[in-house]
Structure formats: C-alpha cells, structure tokens
Amino acid sequence: MKDIIQTIIENGKNFPDQVAVKHNDESLTYEALNQYADHLAVILKDTKSPLILYGHMSPYMIVGMIGSIKAGCGYVPIDTSIPQERVVSIINKIAPQYLLNTTDAQLHIEGPSIITTTALLNVDGDSPIENSINDSAIAYTIFTSGSTGEPKGVQISYESLNLFTNWMIQLNQLGLNQQWLNQAPFSFDLSVMSIYPCLATAGTLNLVDKTMINKPKLLNQMLEETQINVWVSTPSFMEMCLMLPHLTEAHYSSLKEFFFCGEMLAHRTAQLLQQRFPSAFIYNTYGPTEATVAVTSVLITEDIIKKYNPLPVGIPQSGTSLTLTEEGELVILGKCVSEGYVKDKTRSEKVFKMQDGQKAYYTGDKAQLKDNQWFINGRIDYQIKLNGYRMELEEIECQLREVDYVREAIVVPMYRDGKVINLNAVVVLNHVEDHMDNQTITHQIKKELKRLIPEYMIPKKITYTDKLPLTMNGKLDRKKIAEDLLK
Ligand code: AMP
C-alpha cells in the first residue's frame, strides 16, 4: 500500500517542476508544495490540536493539509462560505493552537495563533522533516450538518485516508501525471476524492472556485485552457456543466474519466454523459463522510444504463463490508469507518458501534442488494442532499427557531425526479409589528439565518401559517404540510 505523504515527498524529487496544484494563475510545483508543507510542519511540530485550515480554493490550502499531516496533528478545513458564528462554534469545539489563513482577509478570531501564507514562505534554514503521523492519528476532521443545530466533526484517521486513496488509485484507469478537476470546497469530503489520488499519482490538481461555478462562461474558459483528464464532482455539478453544449468527447478529447459521489447519480444525467463521452470511464461511487468519502463503486456502462433505473452504487471496496439491519438501514463495516464525532460521545455512540470486532457505522440510508449490486433507496431520517450539499432539515428548523420572529418552523424539501430541487419553510410567527408584511418578515428571517447557517441551507421560500398540523400521535405532520404546499 502506498503511504500518501511518502509518495508526495518522492514526487517532489521525481517531478520537482511539475505543477501539483493550480487555481487560476496561482500554482505550486511538487517541489514548492513539499517545501512549504515542510515549513508549516516545522511550525506545527509540537502541536497536539488540529490545524484550522481557513480559505477557499487557494493552493496553500493543500500546503496546509500536507504540512499538518506531516506534523502529525492533521487539519480541519473551513471554507470561506461558512458563516462566522459557525466558524466560532467549530473553533470552540476544536480548541486549536494554530489557524492557517490562506485568504487576504483579516480574521478576527479569538484563540488560535494565525499563520499567514507569507509566514510559510519565510521560515528559513529548516531541512525536510520526516512524516511523523501514525496510522491511528486523525488526518482530518470534517464538519457536517447536525440535527441538534450543532455541526458534527467527523474524524478520519491516516490509515483510513491511505486505504481510501489506494482504492481510488486502483479504480483510476489513467495512471500517473493526469490533470484532475476538483469541484468540491475543501470543507466537503468529496474534495478528498480528487486531492490525494491526484497527488499520490503525481497529477495536477485543478481547483474550480465558486465564481466559476456561478458563471459557466468562466468554467468553460478554464476547461478550454486546461486539458482535464479526470473529473471529480457531484452529479449536480455535472448536470449544470452538461448545459455547456461543447462538453463532448469531440471537443474535450482529454476528458477520459469521471468520478461521482455525494448524491444520487440520476439516470438521465448518466445517459447524457455516456452519449457525450462514449469512450470515457464513468464511476458512480457511494459513501458518507463518516466512512471516508466513498465505499462502493460501479463503472457506469451502456449496459448498466439500459438495465437499471435508478442506477446502482456498485460493490464495496475490499476490506469493507455492508450489511442491512432488519429495518433495511445500511451499515458499513471496516477500517474506513471514522473514529467518531470529535468530543461528542453521545452522538457518536448512536451511530458508531463495534460489530464482529470491526468498526461499524449506521448510515441512515435505506439500501437494497440486487443482482450483486447495492442500490440506495432514500433515508430513514430527515437528512437530505441539495445540489450535493448534505444537511439535516432539523438543523435548519432549529436555527429558524433562533430567529426572534419565529415561534415554530418546519422545512419541507421539494422534489423533481426524485431529487431535492429546493427547500420551503413553513413558519408560525411570534408577535410581529403591525407595519411588517410577509415580504419584509421573510427578508428579515433570511438575513438572520445567513448569520447562523451556510447560504445553501437557507430555504428558498417561506410561507406562514397560524398552526402546524399534528399527526394522530401528536408529532408534526410533515407529510400533510408537504401536501398542502403542493396545492
Ligand atoms: P456526505 O457525508 O456529504 O458524503 O453524504 C453522505 C450521504 O449522501 C449518504 O449517506 C447518502 O445518503 C448520500 N449519497 C452519497 N453518495 C450517493 C450515491 N452515489 N447515490 C445515492 N446517495 C448517495
């Protein structure tokens, strides 16, 4: 098995001038990546708490990852889209000694010492340091939505990260020195699917930022300028890109491999992509953050598309097994399973167990095994995916109730073709001033929410009612509320 950090160090020697990471006109070669990561590791070497890695698509975010793993403390990525209150709550939980700020913005955060990228360039006289992380140490902690209103920090060990990366290297049919595309912000673990497999195979990691995502013209320009070979994204992002009429094999002949994860790959998306890129390898993979990005995969061929709708998510990687509870909930067993939520015994004990001497994670996904292929059939709880983002409806409801005007709230996902397309909130108001109409209140509620949760979690539409309906046994009647919204 390849040790990622060791391999990246060797790539620094074998391919010193090759670009390791690129974002617009900023790039770092393998030599520079290793050098700056070493500088950072020297600063962090006696640190016990993880490094907070703050920024968006700067190549220095990757320096932060490699340097903190080398130093043995690991990292917690925080994207710039995360609101201040949430950043503070993550920092309070982690109690970090250091924060690497890869942005130009001044951060007003109490607690950690702030390291700037300039400081990384200025550490002198140190020689390359050995990789000092051991297998059981936590390589990264990624925070995901939690139903109580407080995000959960999923801790992934260096061993799990290595196992995952080695599996991805086996799936990748194109080998060394490829151009990889990374779409996901680093605070989502889908980014792990491109970062480490790319760097461990001496590829170039091309970072797509949020401006490119919002402006297809810029994205098109980036794709025209860079001969991408391996594409890693959510299916939602692919759907958006398929609107670019030139995204075809004839026009982008370098694009030969696609990896999807994070949400259902819609049949029509796979079909359209397969028609546009008939000779490419298209993988559908499945997994939660709690089991190191992905645990199953299937190569989506023309035959699979003809035979199945919805599409399967495939079979598990070796060393990982899947079982179902009596209720049909999918359980993942193996070394890929997280060490638990950081400093959160109660929530960890609910979903992480030991089973037959192995770590087990209760996913909350309903699944089915058919023709020796796994299929995902929805959730047993109120976790959803919207544009590839994972969120708990109950967390949004919790935060809505934090807003002064709101007494009660329920959030209802609206579906098209089995996929959530937006969120509606139904709200019972506290007393509001007479002059305020619904439009003004909606504006105020959304403004307040912006402080508390990321923008992608804010309901698009808010409707108002005097009372939320209850079921016979006194629970909120989500089904009736959803039906009423469709009337
Ligand atoms: P995350 O932790 O953000 O990766 O989200 C994990 C959840 O996304 C899983 O528990 C599933 O509900 C869903 N998911 C991930 N990959 C797939 C897939 N290929 N097909 C269907 N659902 C998926």
Q: What digits encode the pLDDT tens for the residues 315-368?
A: 999 999 999 999 999 999 999 999 999 999 999 999 999 999 999 999 999 999
Look over the chain and give the mean of its residue pLDDT values, rounded to a whole number.
94
Going by the DSSP 8-state scheme, the letter that residue 97 receives in this structure is S
Mean pLDDT of 281-290: 98
Task: Tell whether the model's pLDDT for residue 129 goes beyond 80.
Answer: no
Task: Tell whether the model's pLDDT for residue 289 goes beyond 90.
Answer: yes
Query: Relative to the CA of 388, which ligand 1 atom is closest?
Result: 3
Q: β-strands 179-182, 204-207: how paired?
A: parallel
Q: Tokens 């109580």 identify what position? A: 148
- Kindly report the pTM of this predicted structure: 0.94
Mean pLDDT of 16-23: 98
Check pocket membership of 19 for ligand 1, CB cut-off 6 A.
no
Name the residue at shortest CA distance from atom 13 of ligand 1: 263
Q: What is the 311 CA–ligand 1 centroid distance (Å)?
A: 14
Q: What is the DSSP string of 9-63?
A: HHHHHHSTTSEEEEETTEEEEHHHHHHHHHHHHHHHTT--SPEEEEESS-HHHHH
| Predicted local distance difference test score (pLDDT) of residue 292 | 98
According to CATH, the topology of domain 387-486 is GMP Synthetase; Chain A, domain 3 (3.30.300)
Kindly tell me the number of DSSP H helices and DSSP E strands found in the chain.
16, 25
Cα–Cα distance for residue pair 245/222, rounded to 1 Å: 15
Q: What digits encode the pLDDT tens for the residues 168-184?
A: 999 999 999 999 999 99
Task: Tell whether the model's pLDDT for residue 385 goes beyond 80.
Answer: yes
Residues written for the chain: 487
Name the residue at shortest CA distance from atom 10 of ligand 1: 288
For residue 149, which amino acid is it? G
Task: Tell whether the model's pLDDT for residue 61 goes beyond 70.
Answer: yes
Q: How far is CA 318 from the centre of its chain?
A: 23
Mean pLDDT of 183-193: 96
440 to each of 43, 356, 404, 435, 457, how far by Cα in Å?
50, 57, 14, 9, 20
Confidence label for 485 from pLDDT (cuts 50, 70 and 90): confident
Q: Tell me which of 3.20.20.70, 3.40.50.12780, 1.10.8.590, 3.40.50.720 is the CATH number of domain 4-370.
A: 3.40.50.12780
Q: CB burial class (10 A; 0-12, 13-18, 19+) of residue 18?
A: middle
Name the residue ranges covered by the structural domains of the chain.
4-370, 387-486
Matching CATH topology for 4-370 and 387-486? Answer: no
- Residues whose CB falls within 8 Å of the CB of residue 366, separated by 6 or more in sequence, listed in order: 328, 329, 330, 376, 377, 378, 379, 380
Task: Tell whether the model's pLDDT for residue 433 goes beyond 90.
Answer: no
Check pocket membership of 284 for ligand 1, CB cut-off 6 A.
yes
- Residues whose CB falls within 8 Å of the CB of residue 225, separated by 6 or more in sequence, listed in order: none
